[in-house]
Amino acid sequence: MDDRAEDNCSLAELVGLFNYETFCATSQEEAVRLLQEKGIDAAVISIDSPINGFQIAQHIKGLDDYKDLPLAFTTSQDYDYPTLMEAQYYGGMFLHRKPYDDVEVLATLSSMVRVKMLQDELKERMQELDHLASTDVLTGIYNRRMFFIRVAEEMARARRNQSPYCVLYMDIDHFKGINDTHGHLAGDFILRSFAQLVDQAKRKSDVFGRIGGEEFVILLPDAGYDEGQMIAERIRATIEETDINWVGKAIPVTISVGMLAIPENAVATADELMKIADEALYEAKESGRNRVVSRELEIGDAVARPFGFL
């Protein structure tokens, strides 16, 4: 970016010889428009007046998609050490004096593009690590750790907004028998299939996680008692009515569900909620399995505390 069109053209012509696609801007407004419309990998900005290149760089770094964008600055003036330090402060990897040395500029651009490639690779690896750290490997849903982190966020939001929510504590009926009869590979397949079916039956906003073995929990934000009961029954019926086939053989699967509704004015800890929902689940299993037992948390004086489930 340079307010002198001829300087823009000479740099673009030089860079174009090496198969880099270039976009030129002579004002901050034009530069921002190009950044929003194009995928920019590196930027070269003039710091000569009337353009304040450092301010433009600061604006670019404030954009979420470009906060790590590799930058270089150019000037037609002799520069001193403080100017060089200022260029580095605003994210400049290099500061070049016009007229450009072709080899030096191309080396600069190659370095900047390489930095951008490494940044993209690092972001991709970090996303993969975040996914592994938050996901149950077998089922692809939240693991225990991430589930309770998300529960903490939703409970805090519910307290702020004074909104109701529900907890569904689910367990696959006779899962040990499935493992004993069909083998652990079949058991793993059942767990994956169950998670997929529930993921399709739940609402998009619901928080779904596997907290151990064949035990799964869903937190339903902004759901009262009736809606929680309806969703729980829908999930239970979906599992019962779906044929899960393993190596050509249909394996009947049912679930028991403990549903706990938390009114908008109730305050409790995650431990308390899970304990009550687990008690409702136990009652469902003791009552014959393949059913939903629902409870509602009574408004009390419990004070929210950190989780013991993490």
pLDDT at 5 over 90: no
- The label of the residue with tokens 């823009």 reads 8
Average pLDDT over residues 75-80: 78
Confidence tier at 88 by pLDDT (50, 70, 90): confident
Rg (CA), the chain: 29
The 8-class DSSP code of residue 80 comes to -
What is the rounded CA–CA span in Å between residue 79 and residue 221? 58
CB 254 within 8 A of CB 229: no
Confidence tier at 309 by pLDDT (50, 70, 90): very low
Q: Give the catalytic positions in this structure.
A: 214
* pLDDT of the residue at 6: 53
Residue, of 36 and 258, whose pLDDT is higher: 258
The 8-class DSSP code of residue 66 comes to G
| Numbers of helices and strands, H then E, in the chain | 10, 10
Cis? peptide before 164, omega within 30° of 0: no
- The label of the residue with tokens 């906003």 reads 205
What is the rounded CA–CA span in Å between residue 222 and residue 206? 9
* pLDDT of the residue at 310: 35
- Count of other CB atoms within 10 angstroms of residue 171: 20
Instruction: Show the domains of the chain with their CATH numbers.
Output: 5-127 (3.40.50.2300), 144-296 (3.30.70.270)
Residue, of 155 and 60, whose pLDDT is higher: 155
The model's pTM: 0.66
* pLDDT of the residue at 171: 97
pLDDT at 165 over 90: yes
Across the chain, mean pLDDT equals: 85
DSSP 71-84: EEEEESS---HHHH
CB 214 within 8 A of CB 175: yes
The 8-class DSSP code of residue 51 comes to S
What is the rounded CA–CA span in Å between residue 153 and residue 165? 13
pLDDT at 302 over 60: no
The 8-class DSSP code of residue 214 comes to T
* pLDDT of the residue at 299: 62
* pLDDT of the residue at 2: 53
What is the rounded CA–CA span in Å between residue 195 and residue 137? 12
CB 209 within 8 A of CB 141: yes
Residue, of 244 and 128, whose pLDDT is higher: 244
pLDDT at 200 over 80: yes
Lowest-confidence segment of 144-153, 226-235, 244-253, 297-306 by average pLDDT:
297-306
Average pLDDT over residues 21-30: 74
